[in-house]
Structure 1
């Protein structure tokens, strides 16, 4: 297999995770360039991946003045500039690994697809959940016919209250005005993609959706709450959103909360603490933020062309982060929880019926025995991140990709469904796809 070279455009956390494949497998990938307006991020990537000074840039325009000097680009920019930064890269002849969501509206999606068709680039979208052992095993079970034809898919994503607040209340994904993407797109295009993928090319026909912001916003701010947790809040000690309890001692979210002060996750606690008392918005009361009509929970119902249905519900503010799934088919069912890395396959079997008429099925437990980061903060996604990079190396080398590979064409189906679900939520109508 030919060793590939890549340029990172947008040197954020996700790009760092994907690029790290070059350190683990230097015979397969080398990072040869980096583009980011933040000089600290450029310097970090330069040092980590031994990138030459001449290949480090503060803007995409500077990079594009050069002739093509890598096989592909890893685009880890913010959601609302994915298309803007991808179009000139494709025109230059680069293949592309693009973080999801790859577009924030229908017009952008069409523009990117038209450009890719014109230039013939290979584009892979980072729907890494497809690569996890959990969802891949479920996909294989469906393909083997274990449950027969799918009648119904029920999926839930529960976003833990700390994760919800750091990213979607205090953070840069809190509203469409800030990140240009609704929460369903920013957080759950993963899950809608999984639904489409498990339906095995059965196209969605109609969608309806409901949701609201039930928990957050200035109008729900508790009486007597202060404006900053560590300055003037008498409710701090018992508040579940207290920035000190959530972000200072636990290191989980330090990458996010140090960005507003130009620091990284290794920043001393004293500097973080002081910033929370002054300018850092992660030190503000969680109820201070206007989320611009964004939701904290949303339900989506999809009707497929063969009459099957899919239901997905995203709920932010749960105690535990969890993705669960229940698939019912003509021959049986699959039910499992992603974080537990277990699911059961129940097959209809009249011979198993008890004397009282109950049961009537055989059950097989699939225990994948995987532990670790399941939400991707440290690059895990249940192992999906690294498996995607392995598949990408094969795909860009002209080999047949796995069933998990998500091309641009594949991803447009789930993105379009999300866009129309949002239209339904805002208009109260059933939307034809």
Structure 2
């Protein structure tokens, strides 16, 4: 019988909660035994949810590591810029680590954390959850089986829905590099660049070029006469596509983990209290054209040149009507083309002389549930990743989706180089 893995949550936010739910669904696999977070309200909520005693709740990593080692691992869900400084002490204490992406916000931090993880001989998995979805893992198996031959080109795109863009990257905590210390390509799309590197595993990225800007959310695009807060002084409240009233009052549960965080300490919150919050001090009630984005992008294109001569392209577009990730891989023997949200893809194989000069098979994985991450699902990837982490710590052979820290380093370095290219107008070499 396999050992039950024990873990401590560091950063009691939404992402750590999502992975920790494995302990509720499969208590024989995982048990949460500690919480580390300076927010006492969040700590109390998580402690009650996972049955953690008050004596095992800590306000800081510094306080936590003074305690005797109390678990097998740490689940680190802190903000992006805190990942390295909160991970190094727990690695040195002897904990293995499940770490949210991006695991570092610059190259110096990245190399520092990788060095410590390797020196301490700790197991560190990075939460690139899309690798674990049935959609992308199925496509990876076709690639590994050689069904389309050698990859010539990968074309990928992510269309971020207008309401996701607003809640996370305009009004939310990932809007500004001053606050989260990460540009949008790193914060949102290191998932996607990781998928590209994963599909191309066996050849390294050589160079990258990138272009992007903030097209839509600059002050000059603000509608005439618009106010500073949607529900306080704006005549466009009912018809604006970014109205806080439409996004968060009419649909209060869609992004609740972000929009109502400021009301977490209150009991029996009414609709009127929510409206008052949006009209006064709730950051999600601000006009999107008044939010400080610090030069962050709402669209960006990336072209990667690989050492074997193949290329990969990725397009990020924020503000789309519908959230959608597409992938099109062209190889020497065929191609794979699919849409993540529809959980469908086609495999075409070149066959000269046939009716269409190719044959194809269509796959419908029939996946239901949250495909966007709005409710912590990511197309089935979240809990599969957590389960793989537990298996990994138990000494089992990791799955093909396993994203160990040394593997994840490649995609992070590509993202860092792509953003340098965007800012400087240069072609950047990838130094692995």
TM-score by length of 2: 0.97
Q: Could you tell which deviates more after superposition, 270-279 or 189-198?
A: 270-279
Question: Is 2:149 the counterpart of 1:148?
Answer: yes
1:385 to 382, 387, 412: 382
Q: In the aligned structure 2, how far is the partner of 1:427 from the partner of 1:158? A: 25
The equivalent residue for 1:279 is: 281
CA contact (8 A) 1:21 1:386 kept: yes
CA contact (8 A) 2:237 2:245 kept: no
Deviations, residues 376-404 of structure 1 (Å, cap 9, x unaligned): 22221111111111211111011110010
**Superposition RMSD in Å:** 1.2
Kindly state the Cα deviation for residue 224 of structure 1 after the two structures are TM-superposed. Answer: 0.7
Taking structure 1 as reference, are residues 285 and 103 closer, same or farther at Cα in structure 2, changes over 3 Å only? same
The equivalent residue for 2:314 is: 312
Q: In the aligned structure 2, how far is the partner of 1:237 from the partner of 1:42? A: 37
Taking structure 1 as reference, are residues 266 and 365 closer, same or farther at Cα in structure 2, changes over 3 Å only? farther
Q: In the aligned structure 1, how far is the partner of 2:57 from the partner of 2:49? A: 13
SS in 1 for 2:78: coil
Kindly state the Cα deviation for residue 265 of structure 1 after the two structures are TM-superposed. Answer: 11
1:403 to 381, 400, 417: 400
Kindly state the Cα deviation for residue 289 of structure 1 after the two structures are TM-superposed. Answer: 1.1
Q: In the aligned structure 1, how far is the partner of 2:272 from the partner of 2:390? A: 43
Q: In the aligned structure 1, how far is the partner of 2:264 from the partner of 2:228? A: 22
The equivalent residue for 1:417 is: 414
The equivalent residue for 1:361 is: 358
Q: In the aligned structure 2, how far is the partner of 1:5 from the partner of 1:201? A: 35
TM-score by length of 1: 0.97
Q: In the aligned structure 1, how far is the partner of 2:285 from the partner of 2:266? A: 16
Deviations, residues 151-173 of structure 1 (Å, cap 9, x unaligned): 00000000000100010001110
Taking structure 1 as reference, are residues 147 and 113 closer, same or farther at Cα in structure 2, changes over 3 Å only? same
Taking structure 1 as reference, are residues 243 and 194 closer, same or farther at Cα in structure 2, changes over 3 Å only? same
The equivalent residue for 1:356 is: none
The equivalent residue for 2:101 is: 100
Q: In the aligned structure 2, how far is the partner of 1:302 from the partner of 1:56? A: 45
Q: In the aligned structure 1, how far is the partner of 2:230 from the partner of 2:391? A: 49
Kindly state the Cα deviation for residue 264 of structure 1 after the two structures are TM-superposed. Answer: 8.1
Question: Is 2:272 the counterpart of 1:270?
Answer: yes
Q: In the aligned structure 2, how far is the partner of 1:140 from the partner of 1:84? A: 36
CA contact (8 A) 1:125 1:408 kept: yes
Kindly state the Cα deviation for residue 58 of structure 1 after the two structures are TM-superposed. Answer: 1.5
CA contact (8 A) 1:218 1:290 kept: no
The equivalent residue for 2:42 is: 41
Unaligned runs of 5+ in 1: 354-358
2:354 to 331, 340, 352: 352
SS in 1 for 2:351: strand
Q: In the aligned structure 1, how far is the partner of 2:133 from the partner of 2:159? A: 18
Question: Is 2:156 the counterpart of 1:159?
Answer: no
CA contact (8 A) 2:350 2:358 kept: yes
The equivalent residue for 1:87 is: 88
Equivalent pairs counted in the alignment come to 428
Kindly state the Cα deviation for residue 262 of structure 1 after the two structures are TM-superposed. Answer: 4.5
The equivalent residue for 1:196 is: 197
Question: Is 2:177 the counterpart of 1:176?
Answer: yes
1:300 to 284, 299, 302: 302
SS in 2 for 1:339: helix
The equivalent residue for 1:206 is: 207
Q: In the aligned structure 1, how far is the partner of 2:265 from the partner of 2:191? A: 29
Taking structure 1 as reference, are residues 264 and 380 closer, same or farther at Cα in structure 2, changes over 3 Å only? farther
Taking structure 1 as reference, are residues 273 and 263 closer, same or farther at Cα in structure 2, changes over 3 Å only? farther
SS in 2 for 1:26: coil
Q: In the aligned structure 1, how far is the partner of 2:417 from the partner of 2:162? A: 27
Q: In the aligned structure 2, how far is the partner of 1:116 from the partner of 1:96? A: 9
CA contact (8 A) 1:258 1:267 kept: no
Kindly state the Cα deviation for residue 219 of structure 1 after the two structures are TM-superposed. Answer: 2.4
Taking structure 1 as reference, are residues 84 and 265 closer, same or farther at Cα in structure 2, changes over 3 Å only? farther
Question: Is 2:227 the counterpart of 1:234?
Answer: no
Q: In the aligned structure 2, how far is the partner of 1:210 from the partner of 1:164? A: 19
Q: In the aligned structure 2, how far is the partner of 1:64 from the partner of 1:423? A: 36
Kindly state the Cα deviation for residue 267 of structure 1 after the two structures are TM-superposed. Answer: 3.9
Q: In the aligned structure 2, how far is the partner of 1:266 from the partner of 1:138? A: 46
Q: In the aligned structure 2, how far is the partner of 1:312 from the partner of 1:110? A: 25
The equivalent residue for 2:75 is: 74
CA contact (8 A) 1:125 1:411 kept: yes
The equivalent residue for 1:374 is: 371
1:118-133 correspondence runs (5 A): 118-133=119-134
